[in-house]
Amino acid sequence: MALQTANAGIHYNFINGEWCASSSNQTITNVSPSNTKDVVGVVQKSTLEDLNQAAASAKESEKAWRKLTGNERAAFLYKAADLLEDRIDEVANCMAREMGKSLGESKGETARGVAILRYYAGEGLREVGDVIPSTDPDALMFTTRVPLGVVGVITPWNFPVAIPIWKTAPALIYGNTVVLKPATEAAVTCAKVIECFADAGIPAGVLNMVTGRGAVIGQGMADHSDINGLTFTGSNQVGKQIGQSVLARGGKYQLEMGGKNPVIVASDADIDLAVDATISGGIRSTGQKCTATSRVIIQNEIYEQFKDKLIQKVKNIKVGDSLDEETWMGPSASEGQLNTVLSYIEKGKREGAFLLTGGERLSGPEYDHGFYIEPTVFEGVTNEMTIAQEEIFGPVLALMKVDTLEEGLKLANDVDYGLSASIFTKDIRKMLEFIEEMEAGLVRVNAESAGVELQAPFGGMKQSSSHSREQGQAAKEFFTSIKTVFIK
């Protein structure tokens, strides 16, 4: 059923340039984790039939889209960026309500979405290949890049604007068409981003969105023979399964997954800076960032001083409704997420870690209608404990004491993940040793573990990624294939 537009709190799939209800006639209702009485919107519970239609329309439109010049494709991205900028308050408000990110952070993320769109629009006029000297004096040899065809995009709920855009924008500018499946928990916010593309007049079929259950639509995309490349961000468990499915049918895939990110606080660190960055990196967004600081490895000499300052500040964090301007930390994004975090806290206690602050679900009139949790800090955490090894995705910090930097680095690397890591030190030798030894795709010195600038490559080592990179110029590697040309 084709409808004019998304309205009345109901959000439709976007297939072949039209807003459509799912063939299932079933929907999913999203409520706010800040207040479950607040219904944010209703999205489609789609079927494989809906997905097939989206993939068919993406395939159908691929040739004409690829034939446009980069500059012509860029015009749609610039227009979508302008529309998103105009709607920044509306989109940020929706994000804050739907997944509980504070309003300030939600605005920041939406503004970043605008910047990413403009960055990739600029790619429409940049070089796509190299001239390579031939050994034949009568030949011209060069490389060019061609799109993959139809690209599937599967995204998590924790960055509902930035991640769909940082995958979709490069896919489009390099000439691919897209089928996007956002995380159900944040699909209303993502639908608002797609509305910007729709209102920018993107040609029918070039960008499609299908909402629904991961096990149905996500897996359906992984298995779909018309989807030539699939880019996924989410948990390791799901990512590995998707990767195997795409590999089995010879498709191209990219997986960006979890983290267990350390910060090392060296004995010569600026302690106030390290404390603020540890809190910002670990607790902002309720700890729900793949790059969130989780393990805090502190040298003995400054341990007590760092701990005292940290605890004092953590206790003063204002937790509340994500729409409240005073709120620094909103709720967990869902009841399931809250329960996961609480179960990790219980495991921490049971396995012998010492709870310094937090650890409980918040209650009271301000909190009873949402999924609020106290910012939590443990000490006495040893490396074999579950909270030292597994991704928690909540506002939980594990303090670990070491004598030397060497010991700290060993500990920092002794996990399966390798996404991001920080060190706080003024000593250039320590910085260089950290940069050299740290097994992480993103290493930061005197800056929090969370965050990367949009023009720089982003991705993990070890179990955090399929070893590919997103963002900046690195995106070109996934979203295109190199063609080597020889002209005699």
Catalog residues that contact ligand NAD under the rule CB under 6 A: 154-159, 181, 183-184, 214-215, 218-219, 233-235, 238, 242, 256-259, 290, 391, 393, 419, 460
* Minimum gap (Å) between residue 222 Cβ and ligand NAD: 6
Q: To the nearest whole angstrom, how small is the minimum distance from the Cβ of residue 189 to ligand NAD?
A: 13
Question: Which CB atom, from 259 or from 281, has the smaller least distance to ligand NAD?
Answer: 259
State in angstroms the smallest separation of the CB of 259 from ligand NAD. 6
Respond yes or no: is residue 256 known to be catalytic.
Answer: yes
Comparing CB distances to ligand NAD, the nearer of 61 and 463 is 463
Contact between 101 and 450 under an 8 Å Cβ cutoff? The reply is: no
Nearer to ligand NAD, 213 or 410 (CB): 213
Catalytic residue among 195, 256, 448, 470: 256
Amino acid at 29: T
Q: What is the 3-state secondary structure (H, E, C) of the chain?
A: CEECCCECCECCEEECCEEECCCCCCEEEEECCCCCCCEEEEEECCCHHHHHHHHHHHHHHHHHHHHCCHHHHHHHHHHHHHHHHHCHHHHHHHHHHHHCCCHHHHHHHHHHHHHHHHHHHHHHHCCCCCECCCCCCCCEEEEEEEECCEEEEECCCCCCCHHHHHHHHHHHHCCCEEEEECCHHHHHHHHHHHHHHHHCCCCCCCEEECCCCHHHHHHHHHHCCCCCEEEEECCHHHHHHHHHHHHHCCCEEEEECCCCEEEEECCCCCHHHHHHHHHHHHHHHHHCCCCCEEEEEEEHHHHHHHHHHHHHHHHCCCECCCCCCCCCECCCCCHHHHHHHHHHHHHHHHCCCEEEECCCECCCCCCCCCCCECCEEEECCCCCCHHHHCCCCCCEEEEEEECCHHHHHHHHHCCCEECEEEEECCCHHHHHHHHHHCCCCEEEECCCCCCCCCCCCECCEECCECCCCECHHHHHHHHEEEEEEEEC
Amino acid code (one letter) for 162: A
Closer residue to ligand NAD (CB): 179 or 257: 257
CA distance 289 to 294: 10
- Tell me whether residue 282 or residue 408 sits nearer to ligand NAD (CB atom): 282
Please, which residue, 209 or 257, has the CB nearer to ligand NAD? Answer: 257
Nearer to ligand NAD, 100 or 258 (CB): 258
Compute the least distance from the CB of residue 159 to ligand NAD, in Å.
6
- Return the sign of the alpha-carbon dihedral for residues 330, 333, 337, 339: positive
Which residues are paired to 153 by β-bridges?
180, 231
- All residues at 6 or more sequence positions from 263 whose CB lies less than 8 Å from its CB, including other chains: 274, 277, 278, 281, 282, 293, 295, 296, 297, 421, 422, 423, 424, 448, 449
The residue among 156 and 170 lying less far from ligand NAD, judged by its C-beta, is 156
| CB-nearer residue toward ligand NAD: 134 or 389 | 389
Q: In whole angstroms, how close is the CB of 258 to ligand NAD at the nearest point? A: 4
* Min CB(396)–ligand NAD separation in Å: 14
Nearest approach, Cβ of 469 to ligand NAD (angstroms)? 10
Cβ at position 219, least distance to ligand NAD in Å: 4
Annotated active-site residue 290? The verdict is: yes
CB of 335 to ligand NAD, least distance (A): 13
Active-site annotation holder among 20, 94, 190, 290: 290
User: How far apart (Å, rounded) are the C-alpha atoms in residues 139 and 46?
Assistant: 53
| Cα 341 from Cα 387, distance rounded (Å) | 10
Q: Which amino acids are annotated catalytic?
A: 256, 290
